[in-house]
Structure 1
Amino acid sequence: MASEQWFMGPLPLPCPGETPPTDGSEAGPQPCGDPRWLMSPGRPGDPLEPLLEAPACTPSPEEPLAPDPGPVPTRLPLDTMFSPITEQLRYLLSKADDFQSYLLYSRDRVQTEQLAKAMPTFLQMCEPYFLYLEAAARSVPPIHGALQELVRKGLLEVSQQLTLRLEQLVLMYASFGLVDMEETDPLSSISSFFCGRFSLSPTHEVSIFRYCAPAAYTATRFPRYLYKKMRWNLETTLEPSGQGQHSRVDYYFLCYRDTWEDSGKTLANSCPQIQKLWSIGRWVPLGPAEDDLYSWILCPQPPGDYQQLLTIGFEEPSHMLATDLLVQILTGQAGPARPPSAAGPAAWAAQGS
């Protein structure tokens, strides 16, 4: 088990567009446990500063999760091993609870709107923790050696618990009209948030994003009635060339399709038949041409098809299971991938029948 020096200092908040840090660099006190942290000294009643204090206990991927095998046969209990991780989870969940409490019980509209504007910063504050959990559990080769399946599952369950809580918080603020979740305005909306990254090989890295609410696959809803719930960015580092090292990004999605819409019936007349067919697929770009910058500027959203790789069924997979299935697809364990869809809506209707 790594020493408590993992959690000696708060984490700096990452700036938008930057890769979030994976360990702390400054020492600072842990605000947990002191009821006075809710009020900012010098600014009575302002909830922003204390709510967005960086957590002081995010583990670093550089540190081992468990001691290296050695001559000492003693093993730490699993609860002891996970104690720093669960403490950090409780800290972040308590921050989410504070955001929720201000929303539900505060009568100060200005403060509530300030918290809504601070929501992206709070989501960024959770990113280093997500980075640690997913990288420690999934990276190949594992950062900490051969992790036992029990430990791996424990790390991923913690990641999933925090993901669902943040999603719930954003949805609650959106229900009050304080947060915009429209994907068409990424600069001022929270349509999705980052929740981890791991490596499949030295040249392949996967980043995980969760949509707070189902979003249309494309602005024109083609393929028809397809909605996305998760996105994975697969970044492949290409061989160095004369111009240096390059990378390519492919996009994979967890989507569902409303089968009742294929039947042509109205929602009121087809309630018994409403089902969501879940699948994992890859974004297939249809244009504009990669070398035509002018076309990209004029294009409001690049058109794309959906290459369905795996049909899951009518039950939504958990956040953890969906990523497990993607890993199986990418490593060739889920069988051969289907060819890209070329028939558009007709092909989708046939697949759902």
Structure 2
Amino acid sequence: MTDFEVVEVQPNSPEQHAFGGPEEDMSGERDSDSMESLNAGQREMEESLSLAVVTLAPPCGDPTVCSCDCEACNCHETRWMERNLQSTELQLQFLMSKADDLHDCLVDGQGHLEREALAAAVPSFLYTCQPFFNHLESTSTVSPHTPLPFGIYARRVQLLDFSQQLCDRLEQLVLTYGSYDALCLDETKPNSVSHFCIGQSQLGPLRVTTFRYCTPTPYLARVDTGLFKRMRWNVERLRDEQQTEEESEAETVGDTVYYFLCYEDIPNAHAQASGDIQDTSNVVRMWSIGQWVQVTPDTEDIYDWITCEVPQADYHRLLFLGSEEPSSCSATDYLQQLLLTHETTD
């Protein structure tokens, strides 16, 4: 297991991302009622999320909308925004209730085999939430050069709040399963659930995929850097020829830049000068956003990455955020501002 995965995890097969996880030959020992309940929950979720694709779609391309006067068009857009928010909130509550169900089933369950089925369901459920996160990210991303009307700004704030609520709930779900030893949260272990995706958006030619670490994770697995990561952003620059799905799959390691939200404990010079060893303020926790700067292997050749057991990298600090941990949405906002500023100055 490397320090971080340079290739995004994609679904291997429909069976592996069913609500009950990969199919296993349990020789008839698995609780059939529990599995039937999980499968029913998955069917319900898929039907509801399929409906959301239509409900959440913006009213673009409708000539009756574009041909009306500005006042009528604005009224139509306002009504659509209200319906969109209501539908999005319903989807949020649906996913939150499913997370609560998985939590309660684990805490209240007693059978060992049932717990195995629930543990397999959690990664699948995290994957199922990605389209909802993607919708929230894509509809709340704005350009700093475009002034926002108050109604649009308020809608964006609410969408970000939805994203934060679901992120927090999923993080607590994974932490609960980890505390019951039903899931492994150690990034260095195979099949661990150390982090999960919380959305993908596009900023001009850049595609940004955001991941949240459930617990603070060492920046490097085998070297103590004093840094602990809480979020990762995979930032890909899309080439003109990468417009089709088939061509986009041919990306190389060099096409992606990795950014992290990290913290480090910095010695407090004032506390050390006082000589009070009991002073708990002898260190200050500082948060920052930085870039993964590749050291080993010293090439972008994919074959060198494959043969490298553990890639190594420095941490290039780009933005200091102070001693308070930012929310996942705030941190992503900061990262997007950095990217947009860099794009503007280039």
- TM bin (shorter chain): 0.7 to 0.9
- Normalized per residue, the structure richer in helix is 2
Residue in structure 1 matched with residue 226 of structure 2 by the alignment: 225
Whether the aligned pair in 2 keeps the contact of 1:237 and 1:246 (CA below 8 Å) is no
Does 2:57 match 1:63?
A: yes
Aligned residues: 291
CA RMSD, 1 decimal: 3.6
Segments of structure 1 that go 5 or more residues without pairing to the other structure are 1-15, 21-41, 337-353
Question: 1:286 aligns to what SS in structure 2?
Answer: strand
Question: 1:17 aligns to what SS in structure 2?
Answer: coil
Deviation at 1:239, TM superposition (A): 5.4
Does 2:309 match 1:306?
A: no
Residue in structure 1 matched with residue 33 of structure 2 by the alignment: 44
Cα distance, 1:220–1:87 mapped onto 2, change above 3 Å = same
Residue in structure 2 matched with residue 175 of structure 1 by the alignment: 179
Aligned residue runs from structure 1 range 41-120, under 5 A: 43-46=32-35, 47-53=37-43, 54-58=45-49, 59-60=52-53, 63-64=57-58, 68=65, 70-71=68-69, 72=72, 73=75, 75-76=78-79, 80-120=83-123
The C-alpha deviation readout for 1:71-125, integer Å capped at 9, x for no partner, is: 4346439654411111111111111111111111112222122101221101111
Residue in structure 2 matched with residue 130 of structure 1 by the alignment: 133
Residue in structure 2 matched with residue 284 of structure 1 by the alignment: 293
Cα distance, 1:129–1:77 mapped onto 2, change above 3 Å = closer
The sequence identity of aligned pairs, in percent, is 34
Q: TM-score, normalised by structure 2?
A: 0.73
The C-alpha deviation readout for 1:200-253, integer Å capped at 9, x for no partner, is: 10x21101110011110011335x210000000100123559xx8856100000
After alignment, is 269-278 or 147-156 more displaced?
269-278
Question: 1:113 aligns to what SS in structure 2?
Answer: helix
Cα distance, 1:65–1:307 mapped onto 2, change above 3 Å = farther
Does 2:165 match 1:161?
A: yes
Amino acid at match of 1:204: L
Whether the aligned pair in 1 keeps the contact of 2:187 and 2:194 (CA below 8 Å) is yes
Cα distance, 1:119–1:273 mapped onto 2, change above 3 Å = same
Deviation at 1:43, TM superposition (A): 3.6
Residue in structure 1 matched with residue 21 of structure 2 by the alignment: none
Cα distance in 1, alignment partners of residues 223 and 85 from structure 2: 44
Cα distance, 1:178–1:91 mapped onto 2, change above 3 Å = same
Whether the aligned pair in 2 keeps the contact of 1:139 and 1:199 (CA below 8 Å) is no
The C-alpha deviation readout for 1:159-203, integer Å capped at 9, x for no partner, is: 111011000100010011110011113x411011011111110x2
Cα distance in 1, alignment partners of residues 283 and 309 from structure 2: 32
Deviation at 1:288, TM superposition (A): 1.1
Segments of structure 2 that go 5 or more residues without pairing to the other structure are 1-8, 14-30
Whether the aligned pair in 1 keeps the contact of 2:232 and 2:260 (CA below 8 Å) is yes
Residue in structure 2 matched with residue 17 of structure 1 by the alignment: 10
Larger relative contact order (Cα-Cα within 8 Å, sequence gap ≥ 6): 2
